[in-house]
Chain A
């Protein structure tokens, strides 16, 4: 995780659009300016960043399902629960399941586990729209490679080129 750059997902470990699931792992950084404020003397990963982590993880599943033809934008978060503190240095496993693949929207349920214990969960809804420009699309494809989205789910023009 690089909190200041909103890079919440380190690596995809399983992505299966047919089974509608994704799993990823992320390690909370040991140090970050975020912890200076949240909280002094008691550093915790903010709940809003756990939501972002689940939203990004589910977002990769939506992107892969759509073969990067459109972009999911966060529209709604429901029933978010934070069940335990997440502290610097902890390794997280993030999972999401695609509940609904609608026209112009998508819904996932997400969860975060730390050492086998559920620390966060939420239902996340996205508005799904065409990429607003080529810059964003190119960046998302570059990020997809960074987090190891399987080549098979990248757009065909890229997957075939390796």
Chain B
């Protein structure tokens, strides 16, 4: 049996969300698209630094019409309340983007 990764249990993401995010990262950070997977950690695996992440965040906010609460997320990770995987592994990031998009529509 294939056990889905923790971030994908019960709160998956839209495949189109991942495609958009991966495209943004590939273009903004000059990373080959094929290296970017839902399991990739933006910092640990892809080596995106804080300035590039600012670019990525801007492009994601614009593409989805949302405002990712990056300051809150960073604080939660720094305080050890949440694993950085929740927000920085792309599958987790996409799940959170979908939640923000859903909250906007609701």
Mark out the residues of chain B between 43 and 88 whose CB falls within 8 Å of any chain A CB in the assembled complex.
50-51, 54-55, 57-58, 61-62, 67-72, 74
A102-B51 contact given A107-B58, A125-B58, CB 8 Å threshold: no
| Contact B54 A100, beta carbon cutoff 8 Å | no
Question: Which listed residue, A75, A102, A125, touches B68 by the CB 8 Å rule?
Answer: A102
The smallest C-beta distance from B48 to any residue of chain A, in angstroms, reads 14
Task: Report the contact-size class of chain A (Cβ under 8 Å from the partner).
Answer: 10 to 19
Q: How far is the CA of A100 from the CA of B64 in the complex (A)?
A: 13
Enumerate chain A residues within 8 angstroms of B70, measured Cβ to Cβ: 102-105
Measured in the bound complex, the distance between the Cα atoms of B30 and A37 in whole Å is: 38
Contacts A75-B54, A127-B54 given; does A100 touch B74 at CB 8 Å? no
Which residues of chain A come closer than 8 Å to B74, judged between CB atoms?
104
**Set of chain A residues within 8 Å of B62, measured between Cβ atoms:** 100
Beta-carbon contacts of A26-67 to B below 8 Å, as 1s and 0s? 000000000000000000000000000000000000000000
Contact A102 B55 (CB under 8 A): no
Contact of A76 among B54, B67, B71 (CB under 8 A): B54
Tell me how far the C-beta of A116 lies from the nearest C-beta in chain B, rounded to whole angstroms. 32
Contact between chains at B58 and A105 (CB < 8 Å): yes
Q: Which residues of B does A touch, CB under 8 Å? A: 50-51, 54-55, 57-58, 61-62, 67-72, 74
